[in-house]
Structure 1
């Protein structure tokens, strides 16, 4: 877990089931950007280790190391910041529409997912919800189900006026790349999608047809076979 050696290409610190990391992996795949994958176990708390803190003091994934001309590297964190860097440095294919209004709508959908839904499923909030419920893991799962269902109901209504073939219009965008991991999380916590037919249709279509999202899905990552970790948290 060291970044002391010279970074020759992009290095992504990731965890297989991290939805934030899935977003970044999808963009890397879409733009065909080569990178080295380094796994960080969230369930064993590896992100809080002193070794990883030397890589990223924030102690989170995804973290991207970017090589510099002087043989060193820059460290980027937060999925949307990393994705913005990738879009700026590898603009094609773009993850945004060219029309400014449509671009703004994509960003609005992205924010509704990235800020309004996904953070509530992080291990920290879930563990705290369980703690407030007397240590009940079931109550923590109910917490997730409530917030996902409530926010999905709102998102379903929003997408009625935005979606075409894809989440916003007829072009694959960052909205799609953020939607899929969130729906994956919803299914993981047994949220039924029948009440959200548009979200369900988009999810199933994207996960079946978009190679960049398929390549980046959790089960296709090198650290996905560590099933022991899934049992440690009790979820």
Structure 2
């Protein structure tokens, strides 16, 4: 047992990324559910772990807390290099991070739960308008990412990289919001290849949802 504890929410995209990374590296960890719907992220206990009140938080043996999903993936690569998710080659690293950031910086923040709630409570957007907002930004980002995808089995080529780790949760959420994915054949094929990997399927929200 590694002694790691992942404080996460089963449907959180960022948490899903870290579960995939931990599983691909074959690391054991305990999960502690932080319910975003119940407001657990704003509890004093969780704010002591993450000053932003976000998930995921990876708690290391000894009590050190790591926050922000891509920073956690970068640390995991340094601490547990195999399989590597962020390429060592500088140009390959730049390409992989560019693809990952299309999702992590350009799609996900606009569709985060706190943003969707603000649309409703501050601007009076109804559920249909909220879902249209969500689909618009996902479609815009996925269109760019589809063009960035190469010919390999994964975005990272012959093996998954950090951008594949980000893609899977984003397509999960796209399906939840009924986005038509037919314009993105490369991305859906890569997602299917990822889902066929047992470490990835084990990270799926349905596999870790509270019972």
TM-score range, shorter-chain basis? over 0.9
**TM-fit CA distance, 1:84:** 1.2
Question: Could you say which residue in structure 2 is the equivalent of 1:33?
Answer: 27
Q: How many residues align?
A: 210
Which deviates further from its counterpart, 126-135 or 137-146? Answer: 126-135
Give secondary structure in 2 for the equivalent of 1:117: helix
Give secondary structure in 2 for the equivalent of 1:169: coil
Q: Provide the aligned C-alpha RMSD in A.
A: 1.6
**Aligned partners of 1:197, 1:133: CA distance in 2, in Å?**
35
**TM-fit CA distance, 1:94:** 1.0
User: Judging changes above 3 Å, is the alpha-carbon distance between structure 1 residues 163 and 108 closer, same or farther for their aligned structure 2 residues?
Assistant: farther
**Aligned partners of 1:135, 1:173: CA distance in 2, in Å?**
37
**Is 2:181 aligned against 1:181?**
no
TM-score, normalised by the number of residues in structure 2 = 0.93
Question: Could you say which residue in structure 2 is the equivalent of 1:52?
Answer: 46
**TM-fit CA distance, 1:139:** 1.0
User: Judging changes above 3 Å, is the alpha-carbon distance between structure 1 residues 79 and 191 closer, same or farther for their aligned structure 2 residues?
Assistant: same
Question: Could you say which residue in structure 2 is the equivalent of 1:156?
Answer: 146
**Aligned partners of 1:174, 1:181: CA distance in 2, in Å?**
12
**Aligned partners of 2:152, 2:49: CA distance in 1, in Å?**
41
Give per-residue Cα distances to partners, 1:163-219, cap 9 Å, x unaligned: 411113222111111101001111111001111111111112211x11221111101
**Structure 1: gaps spanning 5 or more residues:** 1-7, 226-235
Give secondary structure in 2 for the equivalent of 1:216: coil
**TM-fit CA distance, 1:54:** 2.6
Give per-residue Cα distances to partners, 1:98-142, cap 9 Å, x unaligned: 433222211110111110111122111111222354241221111
What is the aligned counterpart of 2:12 among 10, 15, 18? 18
Question: Could you say which residue in structure 1 is the equivalent of 2:204?
Answer: 217
TM-score, normalised by the number of residues in structure 1 = 0.84
**Structure 2: gaps spanning 5 or more residues:** none
